[in-house]
Amino acid sequence: MKKMLTQLSLVAVAALVAGAAQADTLAKIKDSGVVTMGVRESSGRLSYTLGDGKFAGFHVEVCQRVLADLQTKQRWPKMEVKFQTVTSQNRIPLVQNGTVDIECGSTTNNATRQKDVSFAVTTFVEEVRIAVKANSGITSIAQLAGKNVATTTGTTSVQHLRRHERGAGIDFKEVFGKDHADSFLLLDTGRADAFVMDGQILAGNIASSKNPADFRIVGEVLSVEPIAIMMRKDDPAFKKAVDDSIVGLIRSGEMQKIYDKWFVQPTPPNNVRVGLPASDATKAAWANPNDKPLEDYLKK
């Protein structure tokens, strides 16, 4: 029994040592010549697939720029970037266990997640908004009284609407879509008067519709969420290197150009224009680079 316990202890120590070594991401990339980027298949224009193992989007390009910058600064002789698709459920575990070195999708930085992973400085601030038909006459939350408001099952967007100071006491009926496309269809077909969701998702659905001019994003911002690139926890050298590179992109004006490329200009594969200029909240995050969690934004 004693021998077995000793063996188990040795295994535990070995695991800890391996974990500590793995946390040195810069050394890992240098030694292997490979870095694994976590990407999403359908996170709007932040990260999406083009098919055939190719990925694109604002956060994908930001990460590509950051990694190229690190290769130059660290003088790595070679660096192969591999894509690893992640989901809402597995993205944090895959970062923690070393499968993914840098996650470049649509992850909200919040206090709970900060216990398990690290986040780079915020690069995108999501805003929960309202989409309506352009001819509806609706321009504010107050005008939703007595209306059908669509949202997607399992999301919290309508909760944000009810909690908003101008939404309190407004009597409206919730109608649910099984996914974002279904929720937008409720609006498109007139079964809903408004669709409440993340602004990027609303803009993407409008851009992809048959007649984008028929819709408009209106009203007050219901909530904001800081979106950031995710990395392993307790690896300050890698986090600093990534943060410094991102700040460099911001100060040089390149971050704004990358943003406009994916949210203002036509994007592949169908040259669809999302038409979502950088929000004041996103610009504020660029003006004062920080890794504050969602909870800090909710205090305002």
Looking at the structure, tell me whether residues 258 and 117 fall in a common domain: yes
Which pLDDT does position 166 carry in this prediction? 62
The CATH number linked to 177 is 3.40.190.10
Is residue 3 situated within a structural domain? no
Instruction: Report yes or no on 4 lying in a domain.
Output: no
* Claim to verify: residue 104 and residue 66 sit in the same structural domain: yes
Residues 86 and 216 in one domain: no
Q: How many CB atoms lie within 10 A of CB 132?
A: 24
Are 140 and 180 found together in one domain? yes
Q: Which helix (H) or strand (E) holds 254?
A: helix 254-263
Residue 2 counted as domain residue: no
- Residue 87 to residues 6, 42, 195, 201, Cα–Cα distance (Å): 38, 10, 24, 17
How would you label 74-99 residue by residue, b for 16+ Cβ within 10 Å and e otherwise?
eebeebebebebbeeeebbebbeebe
- CA–CA gap between residue 51 and residue 140 (Å, rounded): 39
pLDDT of residue 300: 60
Domain boundary among 208, 224, 240: 224
Domain membership flag for residue 1: no
Phi then psi for 269, rounded to 5 degrees? -90, -10
Do 57 and 206 lie in one domain? The reply is: no
First-to-final CA distance of the chain: 58
- Written as one string, the DSSP assignment of 74-139 is HT-S--EEEEEE--TTTHHHHHHTTS-SEE-S--B--TTGGGTEEE-S--EEEEEEEEEETTS---
In terms of residue numbers, what domain contains 204? 127-224
Q: What is the model's pLDDT at position 156? A: 63
Specify the residue for token string 């205090």. 299
51 with 114, same domain?
yes
Q: Which of 64, 91, 94, 60 is nearest to 79 (CA)?
A: 64
Shared domain for 41 and 72, answered yes or no, is: yes
**In which residue ranges of the chain is pLDDT below 50?**
1-22
User: Tokens for 252?
Assistant: 């040089």
Give the per-residue pLDDT at 78. 94
What's the confidence (pLDDT) of residue 204? 84
d(CA 256, CA 249): 8
Spatial CA neighbour of 196 closest among 214, 172, 165: 172
Q: Which two tokens stand for residue 260?
A: 């406009």
What is the structure's pLDDT at 2?
46
Count of domains in the chain? Answer: 2
Q: How confident is the model over 34-45, as pLDDT tens digits?
A: 999 999 988 889
pLDDT at 53: 94
